[in-house]
Amino acid sequence: MAINTLSVGRDITLNIHSPSGEIYIPTVISFTCKPKPDVRSSIAMNGNVLFAPIPLGYAGSIVIDRTSPALQQIWTAYENAYYSGQNLLASTITETIKEADGTVTQWIATGVMFDAQDFGDWMGNDIVKQTLNFNASKYKQVV
């Protein structure tokens, strides 16, 4: 549902797939995924500077309005698996975007490892917002 050819937050659907199945995270209110290049530089004797951004994966976050203990349950299950010596495998995130021209594009982040950063601040009548950060190895268009 683009507005005047501009994408809006409602244009995206997220699906998160872990090795044990789909992870349902209710009430996603924001999503970010950003490249995190390792930018190297070369400074020649004459002072000329050359830059070499080397792809080094992606980083992002998912912010949700808390409607259940889902985030705490996902994270504590991960933590328990870690401390019991289990192999913690990567997940994937699929983004499906309805473009302004009506077409659909789909992107997939692979090699995704999550880290819970914030279970939320509890204050008066405020809505509790929680944050789940992630790092991904690769990001590519599939449709």
Domain boundaries, the chain: 9-141
Q: The pTM is what?
A: 0.89
Dump pLDDT digits (tens) for 45-103.
999 999 999 999 999 999 999 999 989 998 999 999 999 999 999 999 999 999 999 99
User: For residue 72, with 0-12 CB atoms within 10 Å meaning exposed, 13-18 middle and 19 or more buried, which class applies?
Assistant: middle
pLDDT of the residue at 2: 81
Topology classification of domain 9-141: Pnp Oxidase; Chain A (2.30.110)
d(Cα 14, Cα 53) in Å, to the nearest integer? 28
